Amino acid sequence: MTIALTPSDTTPAEAGHAVPEPAVPGPAEEAHGPAEESAGPVMAEEPEFWEPSAPEPRDEPDIEGREEDPEEGPDPGEVDPVVARDAHDFGVYARTGGWAFALKVARSVRPGGQAAEGDARRKVSAKAFAELAGCSPERVMRHYKAWDMAADDGLVPQFEVLVPGEDVELPDADVWISYYSSRNSAGSVRGQAISAVAEAEGIRPTKALEVAENPTALRAAILADPGTAEAARGALLDRMKEDPALQTEMARAFVRTDDLKKAVASESKAADRIGYVRQIVEKGQIRTPAGQTVEAPPELRAEAERHLSLLDELDDSEEAGEWAGEAYDAVRGLVARAVEEDPALRVQERRTKFYSSLQKATKVFEELTLDEVLEEEVFEDDMLQRLEALQEAIGSCISALRRASTAS
């Protein structure tokens, strides 16, 4: 569609340079007399309503989606020209979004203000245009760059063929957001990375950039809203998979906070118990209290499967600790009973326990440093008494083993 926009004429200044003047009056002003003299176009912050244009006849449906009845509508002669111009500009913006404003920049601005060959009317620099518009040059250049990218894609004409005041066919408003970013950070390496991930997630890059530029607002949303906190938790977990430094920082933060440290220990214990039950189901093996790994009896494996199915059906919001403890205790009880009901396994279990205890006792005794005790004069009478009792126990144990060996 072709959108009629108010042309901006230029007149020579005293210095000999062409400077754009405010827009000429539209038809509505000619019909009802001159309106108040405009101070020039002003580009405000969002929404970006620029200098109004002259009203045009429209066949647009009303906001209800139906055509307005001419007999019920207002008489054009009774409408204030300013209201009519505002309504027209609103319609232009609704249909084309920022393209209407980007066209004003594209046909009037040439960075540096240099004239191109064949230009009948001199364009101005982004700085000069911004001064006339009452906004920043950066804002003007964001519109300029958006038009430039769209021109490269063939959606709009190139700058060279546009002259001040010319109207062209404009793309739909929905396409504008794909080319324009209202934030300077979008052009940085960080901004480009955020924009790329936002597009992959199916959201507008400007939304992600806005959040990234206001971490205090993000913190407030996380603290106040469980849904936002859950989204942040998921994002952090995903990021930590590929960020070892963040993993270390998060682990350090947890162990330095007592409440979080206890929560981690509790969850770790529950995870270990669930893992014990899962191993029986998936591998068909049990680990005895003494540390042996043997084949699980069919009935024990079936019971483990039942408990594991209950655990897998828990929602993320449900606490797994109590269920994990119940499953672990039930399975461990069956393991102990299976050991006792198998004579060969019971003997091996006790033998394994004895060897384990003997190994621990040997290691502890070997670590005793008697030289330091004697040198530092820290000797106490009860030390000797304990060693004598230990010697007697070891002697009794040796005698019992010798008798058993002779009997066998």
- Of the pLDDT bands very low, low, confident and very high (cuts 50, 70, 90), residue 157 is very high
Mean pLDDT of 60-87: 62
Give yes or no: residues 235 and 309 share one domain.
no
Other CB atoms within 10 Å distance of the CB of residue 370: 10
Residue 205 belongs to some domain of the structure: yes
342 burial type by CB count under 10 A (0-12 exposed, 13-18 middle, 19+ buried): middle
pLDDT value for 225:
93
Domain boundary residue, one of 176, 197, 226: 176
Mean pLDDT of 265-282: 87
pLDDT value for 350:
87
CB of 106 closer than 8 Å to CB of 159: yes
The Cα–Cα gap between 105 and 41 comes to: 12
Q: Is the pLDDT of residue 63 over 60?
A: no
Nearest to 266 by CA among 279, 278, 281, 254: 254
Tokens of 232: 């942040």
Give yes or no: residues 24 and 132 share one domain.
yes
Residue 360 belongs to some domain of the structure: no
pLDDT value for 408:
65
Considering only residues 212 and 153, tell me which one the structure prediction assigns the higher pLDDT.
153
Tell me the per-residue pLDDT of 323-369, one tens digit each, with 9 for 90 and over.
888 888 888 888 888 888 888 888 888 888 888 888 888 888 888 77
Torsion of CA 107, 110, 115, 116, to 10 degrees: -70
Mean pLDDT of 220-229: 92
- Of the pLDDT bands very low, low, confident and very high (cuts 50, 70, 90), residue 318 is low
Angle at CA of residue 180, ends 234 and 220, nearest 5°: 35
The answer for residues whose C-beta is within 8 angstroms of residue 262's C-beta and 6 or more apart is none
Other CB atoms within 10 Å distance of the CB of residue 291: 11
Residue 137 belongs to some domain of the structure: yes
Beta strands in 212-337 (DSSP E): 285-287, 293-295
Domain boundary residue, one of 213, 243, 273: 243
pLDDT value for 30:
37
The answer for residues whose C-beta is within 8 angstroms of residue 99's C-beta and 6 or more apart is 156, 170, 171, 173, 175, 176
The Cα–Cα gap between 111 and 130 comes to: 12
Residue 109 belongs to some domain of the structure: yes
pLDDT value for 77:
66
pLDDT value for 36:
38
Give yes or no: residues 170 and 190 share one domain.
no
pLDDT value for 376:
61
Q: Is the pLDDT of residue 389 over 70?
A: yes
pLDDT value for 158:
92
Give yes or no: residues 194 and 171 share one domain.
no
Give yes or no: residues 39 and 136 share one domain.
yes
CB of 209 closer than 8 Å to CB of 191: yes
Domain that holds residue 19: 10-176
Residue 4 belongs to some domain of the structure: no
Give yes or no: residues 93 and 201 share one domain.
no
Q: What is the mean pLDDT of the chain?
A: 75
What is the maximum span of the chain, computed from C-alpha positions, in angstroms? Answer: 129
Nearest to 387 by CA among 363, 370, 400, 375: 370
Domain boundary residue, one of 131, 152, 176: 176
Give yes or no: residues 168 and 39 share one domain.
yes
The Cα–Cα gap between 25 and 110 comes to: 25
pLDDT value for 320:
74
Residue 1 belongs to some domain of the structure: no
Tokens of 28: 């509505």
Give yes or no: residues 132 and 220 share one domain.
no
**Residue 55 phi, psi dihedral angles, 5° rounding:** -70, 150
Give yes or no: residues 102 and 146 share one domain.
yes
- Of the pLDDT bands very low, low, confident and very high (cuts 50, 70, 90), residue 265 is confident
pLDDT value for 51:
43
Tell me the per-residue pLDDT of 236-259, one tens digit each, with 9 for 90 and over.
999 898 888 999 998 898 888 888
pLDDT value for 45:
41
Residue 319 belongs to some domain of the structure: yes
**Residue 228 phi, psi dihedral angles, 5° rounding:** -65, -40
For a pLDDT cut of 90, what percent of the chain falls above it?
Answer: 8
Tokens of 338: 């299976």
CB of 126 closer than 8 Å to CB of 109: yes
Give yes or no: residues 39 and 139 share one domain.
yes
In total, how many domains does the chain have?
Answer: 4
Residue 2 belongs to some domain of the structure: no
360 burial type by CB count under 10 A (0-12 exposed, 13-18 middle, 19+ buried): exposed
Nearest to 180 by CA among 127, 103, 102: 102
Give yes or no: residues 306 and 239 share one domain.
no
The Cα–Cα gap between 28 and 34 comes to: 9
Rg over alpha carbons for the chain, rounded to the nearest Å, is 41
Tell me the per-residue pLDDT of 171-219, one tens digit each, with 9 for 90 and over.
888 888 777 765 555 556 777 787 788 778 887 777 777 787 788 888 9
- Of the pLDDT bands very low, low, confident and very high (cuts 50, 70, 90), residue 223 is very high
First to last CA, the chain: 105
Tell me the per-residue pLDDT of 36-45, one tens digit each, with 9 for 90 and over.
333 344 443 4
Mean pLDDT of 147-154: 89
The Cα–Cα gap between 140 and 42 comes to: 12
The predicted model scores a pTM of 0.40
**Bridge-based pairing state of the strands 285-287 and 293-295:** antiparallel
Give yes or no: residues 95 and 188 share one domain.
no
Other CB atoms within 10 Å distance of the CB of residue 183: 16
pLDDT value for 105:
92
Q: How far is CA 208 from the centre of its chain?
A: 8
The Cα–Cα gap between 159 and 103 comes to: 9
Which of 57-71, 115-129, 141-155 has the least mean pLDDT?
57-71
3-class secondary-structure state, position 357: helix
pLDDT value for 224:
94
